[in-house]
């Protein structure tokens, strides 16, 4: 069984920990936006609101869905960048 040098293991552990932080933040942001969308949609289904209030709720739902789209697009772009860098760095290995 081959063991990796301690330095490589330490770097991998640090890299992994650094990648978990943005994932945790993304998870929080996505859940928050989804909870907002769901909450306002449920309210609109349960009650009749004045047109101005309905417009306010629909505007919030639209804004949160746009925020979700932006969050996910940025996360995918970051993952593509990371994958590309990992592929380029793999060529440096002996």
CA distances from 59 to 3, 12, 28 (A): 56, 44, 22
Identify which has the larger pLDDT, 27 or 14. Answer: 27
- Please give the Cα distance from 21 to 93 (Å, whole number): 27
- Domain residue spans in the chain? 50-82
For residue range 57-67, what is the model confidence (pLDDT) as tens digits?
Answer: 999 999 999 99
pLDDT tens readout for residues 24-52: 888 999 999 999 999 999 999 999 999 99
């Amino acid at each position: 069984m081959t063991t990796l040098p301690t330095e490589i293991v330490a770097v991998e552990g640090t890299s992994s920990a650094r990648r978990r932080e943005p994932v945790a933040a993304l998870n929080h942001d996505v859940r928050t936006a989804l909870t907002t969308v769901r909450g306002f949609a449920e309210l609109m289904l349960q009650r009749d609101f004045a047109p101005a209030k309905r417009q306010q709720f629909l505007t919030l739902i639209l804004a949160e869905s746009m925020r979700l789209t932006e969050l996910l697009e940025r996360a995918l772009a970051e993952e593509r960048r990371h994958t590309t860098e990992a592929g380029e760095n793999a060529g440096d290995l002996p």
